[in-house]
Amino acid sequence: MGTALLYDEEMTKYKLLWVDPACKIEVPERLIVSYEALVRSGLSDRCISIPAREASDSEILLVHSELYLEAVKKTPYMTLEDLKEFTLQFGDVYFHPNIYHCAKLASGSALQLVDSVMTGKVRNGIALVRPPGHHSMHGAANGFCVFNNVAIAARYAKQKYGVKRVLIVDWDIHHGQGVQYCFEDDPSVLYFSWHRYEHQNFWPNLRESDYDSVGKESGAGFNINVPWNNVGMENSDYLSVFCHVLLPVAYEFCPDLVLVCAGFDSAIGDPEGEMCATPDIFAHLTHLLMNLAGGKLCAVLEGGYNLTSLAQSVCQTVQTLLGDPLPQLANLRGPCKSAVESLQCARSAHRRYWSFLKHAADPPMTDISTKHIKSAMEEEEKTEMAEEERCTEGKVWPEPPERLCPPVCSASVLPDDVACPDGLKRLSSSKDLEPLLVSKLKNRFRTAAVDGDRVTTFSRLYTLIEKLVANEIRNGLVLVPDVAAAMMCVVQDLTSDLVKRVLVVCVGKEKELDYVTTDGKVLVVQISSEDREEQRSKYYIPVCLKKGCSDTSGFIQAVLGLLLPLGYEYNPDLVLLVRMPGSGVVDSMWQQLIGLLQGFAKGHTLVLMQVNEKACMGSTASALLGHPAPPLQDLQTPFPEDGDALERLRERLQADWKTLQTTS
């Protein structure tokens, strides 16, 4: 299934008609450069174009009052003076004779997108719209927003498709207070937002934008705010919040639909956000949400005011929605102190509501919410210092790297008598191994002549790895008689001269792990029922699940809170996913793991499985081909000892691995 793209140039046909410094950045060119970038890059042609439509009155009334709608209906007939007058009653927003029409198109586009995804016409999609929506409220326009496009879409999805749980992820740099107010007492809609806050000194300066606004009454726990109290947040900060706050809760919530308030003013260069995260981060943020809700994801444009980073970020998002390989994120160095404080506060505020956050630490000593009563003097200093170093005009960043699709998505190396799963390309041709390699194999296996078919297998394996590294193939599935031996061989002999860093994810028990290196060429993360704490080192990280890999709750917690951060920090060139026989890992969890691991090494994942487990080749192939993993149904509360052990493991490892830091 494809990716929907909604865009209508009619939504570029309104603009600010008077002087208002707060609103001058919201210009038609925002939409034009975004769409043109998609056209120029060839991405728009790869999408399924869905027409915009006007939202009806009843659809708008799902969120807004009749009084407000009737008032906005009058604006097309207003004089310039009337428009100015009408605008005065709202904050940081402007009206125009054509904005009501465009606001209906923006909301209607979001609904068209929901229809396309919910009817299965497409898998996911994006609506490029203006005016944006997430600040508008029941009876008021605000922050360039007239109708709350995403809030209306959430209510619409519930009403028309009986969607039980909607996750709204708001990565715009402003707090979508309109969305928060709409759903704060509603447990069927989980709203997550990060936003520039600076202890309430940043617009819209609301006390209720802080981390302690967790929702009300039956909605308690279903509103997650992560305030950024400093500018300059980077990719590491965003990924830490996804791994340690959003994703654990999102998986536990298990949404039927994901809506994204896709604002790109959180990208580098934006005058509003003043952050330093690069456009390619949105490739990963999108990817990390794509295995939820069976892949049903609707992104709706909110903010984004630097026309260069906006266009690049939109392209990064669309390319991921289309299933293209992800760019490698370089030099992630862990979250900054302020970000750790914020995520620690958010985690501790929510630990009573979410069993996946149950073991979160207490809030930091310096409770950051009281800091907002800053002395005028301090504020004054900050502003002076801020000017020169914060000027975003001077910000430069590299073009996001090309994300080329290898000619072959998934290849397989199988025993001749095993049928190749649909969609996979069987790798049979294999060059003879160099004599040097054969001799290495021989003394590796301490057998005189490494038996024939083993040499064949390893030579095919070697060829596969060469093709992965050369980006001729994206990922591969290998079935071998002895998976432990094959793993050792791949790690020691077949990759040493081909890749710099191999992330080995070992699922299930393994006899000896004597190939662990200390030079960092290999990072092994093993998830099993065995307690291998005494063998732990910087590059060998055993995660022990009391009930083993069949405990999906513990497994996904370890993946989200440990494996993902480690993987991002380690930044491997190849991922070796080894399924030890008898691991007991549940199929949906196995597919989720393969899906999430695609975020590393440009998707170069090599799955090693034992021949006697060929029954799960089908689901493995499906995940390798990029089909969304099935949702993890009814996750139980993780076992306390596992949750606790994971927190302790993170604390012990965070000296070596900064991205594991969740406490300041």
Ligand X SMILES: CC(O)(O)NCCCCN
For residue 24, the tally of other CB atoms under 10 A from its CB is 12
In the window 292-321, what residues touch ligand X (CB under 6 A)? 302-303
DSSP 144-191: TBSS-HHHHHHHHHHHHH----EEEEE-SSS--HHHHHHHTT-TTEEE
Rounded Cα distance, 535 and 513, in Å: 9
Subset of 178-217 contacting ligand X (CB under 6 A): 203
Residue 145 or 488: the one with the smaller Cβ distance to ligand X is 145
Q: What's the Cα-to-Cα distance from 24 to each of 18, 19, 390, 459, 647, rounded to whole Å?
A: 9, 8, 20, 62, 47
Q: How far apart are CA 214 and CA 221, in angstroms?
A: 5
Min dist. Cβ of residue 563 to ligand X (A): 33
Interface with ligand X in residues 230-289 (CB under 6 A): 263, 265
> Rounded to the nearest whole angstrom, what is the least distance from the CB of residue 282 to ligand X in the complex?
15
Residue 59 touching ligand X (CB under 6 A): no
Shortest spacing between CB 165 and ligand X, in angstroms = 25
One residue of 22, 27, 61, 469 binding ligand X per CB under 6 A: 22
Residue with the shortest CB distance to ligand X: 303
The encoded tokens of residue 244 equal 């340690």
Q: Which of 108, 125, 132, 561 binds ligand X (CB under 6 A)?
A: 132
User: Do the Cβ atoms of 29 and 130 come closer than 8 Å?
Assistant: no
- Write down the least CB distance from residue 226 to ligand X, Å: 15
Instruction: Give CA separation, 207 vs 200, 204, 356, 414, in Å.
Output: 6, 9, 27, 60
Catalytic residue among 64, 96, 135, 359: 135
- Only one of the segments 139-147, 309-317, 461-469, 555-563 lies at the binding site for ligand X (rule: CB under 6 A); that segment is 139-147
| Count of residues near ligand X by CB under 6 A | 14
> Nearest distance from residue 196's CB to Zn ion, in Å?
9
Q: Is 92 in the site for ligand X (CB under 6 A)?
A: yes
Residue 234's binding partner among Zn ion, ligand X, none (Cβ under 5 to 8 angstroms by kind) is none
144 lines the binding site for ligand X (CB under 6 A): yes
Nearer to ligand X, 179 or 461 (CB): 179
103/617 Cα distance (integer angstroms): 48
Between 135 and 158, CB nearer to ligand X: 135
If the CB atoms of residues 265 and 493 are measured against Zn ion, the closer one turns out to be 265
> Is 135 labeled as catalytic in the residue annotation?
yes
d(CA 153, CA 59) in angstroms, rounded, equals: 9
C-beta separation of 6 from 106 below 8 A: no
Cα–Cα dist 373/598, whole Å: 44
Residue 143 or 561: which CB sits closer to Zn ion?
143
**Which part of the chain contacts ligand X (CB under 6 A), choosing from 140-148, 226-234, 340-348, 516-524?**
140-148
Q: Please pick, from the candidates 155, 158, 174, 347, the single residue that binds ligand X as defined by CB under 6 A.
A: 174
CB atoms within 10 A of CB 379: 12
Task: Please report the beta strands in 249-398, taking only residues with DSSP state E, as ranges in sequence order.
Answer: 257-262, 297-301
Span of 138-146, 156-164, 398-406, 408-416 interacting with ligand X by CB under 6 A: 138-146
Q: Which residues are at the interface with Zn ion (CB under 5 A)?
A: 172, 174, 263, 265, 303
Spatial distance between the Cα atoms of 505 and 431, rounded to a whole number of angstroms: 28
Q: Which of 140, 502 has the CB closer to ligand X?
A: 140
Eight-class DSSP state of 293: G
Give whole-number Cα distances, 499 to 382, 384, 467, in Å: 46, 48, 12
Q: Which residue's CB is nearer to Zn ion, number 174 or number 359?
A: 174
From CA 497, how far away is CA 477, in angstroms rounded? 21
Is the CB of residue 167 less than 8 Å from the CB of residue 257?
A: yes
Query: CB 192 → Zn ion: shortest distance, Å?
Result: 15
Q: Which residues bind ligand X (CB under 6 A)?
A: 22, 92, 132, 135, 143-145, 172, 174, 203, 263, 265, 302-303
Q: Give catalytic residue positions.
A: 135
